[in-house]
Amino acid sequence: MAGTGESSRSWERETVPMVMTIVSPMLAQRDVYSLLLVSPWCYRALLSVSTIWEVLDLHEMSKAGERLRSALLLGKVLQGLQHLNLNGCQKISDVGIEAITSCCPQLREFYLYWNVRLTNVGITHIVRNCRELRSLNLSGCKNISDHCLHLIGDNCQKLQDLDITRCTKLTDRGLQQILLKCSLLQRLNLYALSSLTDAAYKKIACLSHLTFLDLCGAQNLTDEGLSCIAGCKNLASLNLTWCVRVTDMGVIAIAEGCRSLELLSLHGIISVTDACLEALSKFSSNSLMTLDVNGCVGIKKRSREHLLQLFPLLRCFKVHS
Amino acid sequence: MAKMIKLVSGDGAEFEVEEEVAFQSKIIKDIVADADDVIPLPTVSSKVLIQVIEYCRKHAAVNSFPLSPSSSAAAAASSSSSISYSKPVSDPALRAWDNEFVKLNNSSLFDIVIAANYLDIEELVDLVLETVADRIKGKQAQEIRRQFNIENDFTPEEEEALRRENSWAFQNN
């Protein structure tokens, strides 16, 4: 509606910025930034819409470090940032982590998948600066050690979701810190941490809110450890792929303890038999929707038809790892 | 006899509408609950109010005779989240009508965004916002200015500085 005089001024300075702020929450990040550049009126109006500055997603972008540095120039605005996705941004170092976390005290979700440069130093900054953390993804950050878990346990009491897949330097001592101190945890991913033992696994029972547990590759997990885990009554998703020391005893304990299981993988466990399926069917037949018994040669009746008889809600027969 | 509500536009024109039509606006519904049947809407012009009433009339007629359980379920479900797109209108004839309705120039469209947002008419807000978003998506700042006839009020220096500062947000940089 550009023309001369008042009506065009009101279009530029009031109508357009107002509409842009109303529409901004439904736009992609890239479009929001285009709008910033449209006019000074849009720029100012958009900076005041706090919800669009809550999420920053740089996952797998090239030159993520530079981008992050530039984003920090938005300074004040990023104080409200709640969700930061740096998955696959492999060049970001502890220094970058310090910079971003010191600007974002409200951060709730921080994803750093596959960042091999991250060390205890970076973790120190995260836990000191971001006291509101609910969800932390450190999958593949193979340079972090038990000290990190001590730091997280001491500082992140509100943590609900932790992924330490493939952080192979971690040992029982470190994990125990998390299990004892992060009592609000609902999701815990310990995929490919094959050096852990029952000494730590038993303490998973402390997590009364746990609904999701991934123990794929836990080759030292025994029935004793698994029986303790059965104390997590709210478990809905349990991945025991390649937990080769587990037998019927452990799985039956799970069946009796966790009666709202929706996903279970016993993939590759050769010592479980039909007995454990019967126990599971007794308690979780009205909730189980995914069951992976591929490679469970001890189970004789594992055709689709047999499984559907025991678990009528089954939709999915293989858990992808 | 259906209960009537009187809406008064910013330029003083009066419109009598059935209660169920007016109640598509959550604001109006709340005000009327306090027993006021004449509702002044000083920020809405009669031109815009006519269009909004047309939309509400059309949608009230459909909602009072839900075609299928899914359409009323969709209406119920869409009242929860404020940011997501509402569930698409399930009746194809109504959807076609909606698509015709939003074939508006930018000025009229923006007026309706502001009015619908103010009056809190959820389905209309989602409809017009989706239309606006489509006109913005994937465009650079200069194209957006051209689309909506916006002057570039930045000085060349300001624009260059902002572009540099924000270049990080664009993937192909």
Which of A8, A15, A34 is opposite residue B140, by nearest beta carbon?
A: A34
Chains A, B: CB contacts within 8 A come to: 108
- What pLDDT is stored for residue B79 in this prediction? 42
Give the burial class of B130: count Cβ atoms within 10 A of its Cβ; 0-12 exposed, 13-18 middle, 19 or more buried.
Answer: middle
pLDDT(A45) > 80: yes
pLDDT(B12) > 60: yes
Distance from CA of B165 to the nearest CA of A (A): 6
Instruction: Say if the Cβ atoms of A38 and B166 lie within 8 Å.
Output: no
3-class DSSP state of A162: strand
Q: Tokens at residue B95, please? A: 């959807």
With contacts defined as CB-CB under 8 Å, which chain B residues touch A36?
141, 162, 166
Sign of CA dihedral A214, A81, A155, A147: positive
For residue B118, the chain A residue with the least C-alpha distance is A22
3-class DSSP state of A117: coil
Instruction: Say if the Cβ atoms of B133 and A27 lie within 8 Å.
Output: yes
Q: Whole-angstrom Cα distance, residue B41 to residue B18? A: 17
Q: Whole-angstrom Cα distance, residue A56 to residue A80? A: 11
- What pLDDT is stored for residue A77 in this prediction? 64
User: Among residues of chain A, what percentage have pLDDT more than 70?
Assistant: 94
Element at A281 (helix H, strand E): helix A274-284
Residue A160 CB partners (closer than 8 Å, separation 6+): A134, A135, A184, A185, A186, A187, A209
pLDDT(A73) > 70: no
3-class DSSP state of A201: helix
Q: Tokens at residue A275, please? A: 């007995």
pLDDT band for A64, please (50, 70, 90 cuts): confident
Instruction: Say if the Cβ atoms of A15 and B110 lie within 8 Å.
Output: yes
Sign of CA dihedral A55, A59, A62, A65: positive
pTM of the model: 0.68
Q: Whole-angstrom Cα distance, residue B103 to residue B149? A: 17
Residue B29 CB partners (closer than 8 Å, separation 6+): B22, B23
Q: Whole-angstrom Cα distance, residue B23 to residue B26? A: 6
Averaged pLDDT for residues A35-63: 82
pLDDT band for A116, please (50, 70, 90 cuts): confident
Averaged pLDDT for residues A73-89: 78
Q: B2 or A186, which is more confident?
A: A186
Averaged pLDDT for residues B90-119: 93
Distance from CA of B53 to the nearest CA of A (A): 20
pLDDT(B61) > 90: no
Q: What is the DSSP string of A215-262?
A: -TT-TT--HHHHHHHTT-TT--EEE-TT-TT--HHHHHHHHHH-TT--
Q: Whole-angstrom Cα distance, residue A28 to residue A34? A: 10
Does B150 lie at the interface with A, CB-CB under 8 angstroms?
yes
Pairing of strands A83-85, A109-111: parallel
* Contact in structure between A124 and A149 (CB atoms under 8 Å): no
Q: Tokens at residue A118, please? A: 């991250």
Residue for token digits 């390649």?
Answer: A242
pLDDT(B71) > 60: no
Tally Cβ neighbours within 10 Å of residue B139.
Answer: 17
Give the burial class of B63: count Cβ atoms within 10 A of its Cβ; 0-12 exposed, 13-18 middle, 19 or more buried.
Answer: middle
User: Among residues of chain A, what percentage have pLDDT more than 90?
Assistant: 68
- What pLDDT is stored for residue B77 in this prediction? 45
pLDDT(B70) > 70: no
Tally Cβ neighbours within 10 Å of residue B74.
Answer: 17
Does A89 lie at the interface with B, CB-CB under 8 angstroms?
no
- What pLDDT is stored for residue B6 in this prediction? 92
- What pLDDT is stored for residue A81 in this prediction? 86
3-class DSSP state of B41: strand
Tally Cβ neighbours within 10 Å of residue A247.
Answer: 19
Which of B106, B162, B168 is opposite residue A67, by nearest beta carbon?
A: B168
For residue B152, the chain A residue with the least C-alpha distance is A39
Q: What is the DSSP letter of A58?
A: -
Q: Tokens at residue A243, please? A: 């937990």
With contacts defined as CB-CB under 8 Å, which chain A residues touch B85?
26
Whether ipTM exceeds 0.85: no
* Contact in structure between A77 and A106 (CB atoms under 8 Å): no
For the segment A10-20, what is each residue's pLDDT rounded down to a tens digit?
899 999 999 99
Lowest mean pLDDT among A85-94, A105-114, A132-141: A85-94
- What pLDDT is stored for residue B72 in this prediction? 43
Element at B170 (helix H, strand E): none
- What pLDDT is stored for residue B90 in this prediction? 74
pLDDT(B9) > 50: yes
pLDDT(A89) > 60: yes
pLDDT(A220) > 80: yes
Instruction: Say if the Cβ atoms of B129 and A34 lie within 8 Å.
Output: no
Instruction: Say if the Cβ atoms of A39 and B148 lie within 8 Å.
Output: no
* Contact in structure between A205 and A228 (CB atoms under 8 Å): yes
For the ranges A60-64, B26-30, B109-113, the maximum mean pLDDT occurs at B109-113
- What pLDDT is stored for residue A321 in this prediction? 55
For residue A75, the chain B residue with the least C-alpha distance is B165
C-alpha angle with apex A232: A226 to A234, nearest 5 degrees? 130
With contacts defined as CB-CB under 8 Å, which chain B residues touch A38?
141, 144-145, 150
Residue for token digits 């450890």?
Answer: A225
Instruction: Say if the Cβ atoms of B129 and A29 lie within 8 Å.
Output: no
Q: A78 or B143, which is more confident?
A: B143
For the segment A142-162, what is each residue's pLDDT rounded down to a tens digit?
999 999 999 999 999 999 999
Q: Whole-angstrom Cα distance, residue A103 to residue A56? A: 13
Instruction: Say if the Cβ atoms of A38 and B107 lie within 8 Å.
Output: no
Does B73 lie at the interface with A, CB-CB under 8 angstroms?
no
Q: Tokens at residue A252, please? A: 């039956």
Q: What is the DSSP letter of A316?
A: B
Instruction: Say if the Cβ atoms of A31 and B113 lie within 8 Å.
Output: no
Does A184 lie at the interface with B, CB-CB under 8 angstroms?
no
Best mutation target among A18, A26, A52 (most B Cβ atoms within 10 Å) is A26
* Contact in structure between B145 and A38 (CB atoms under 8 Å): yes
- What pLDDT is stored for residue A74 in this prediction? 63
Q: Whole-angstrom Cα distance, residue A304 to residue A318? A: 11
Mean pLDDT over the full length of chain A: 90
pLDDT(B68) > 50: no
pLDDT(B85) > 50: no
Q: Whole-angstrom Cα distance, residue A104 to residue A308? A: 49
Q: Whole-angstrom Cα distance, residue B12 to residue A181? A: 65
Does A100 lie at the interface with B, CB-CB under 8 angstroms?
no
Q: Whole-angstrom Cα distance, residue A186 to residue A289? A: 20
pLDDT band for B88, please (50, 70, 90 cuts): low
Averaged pLDDT for residues A83-96: 85
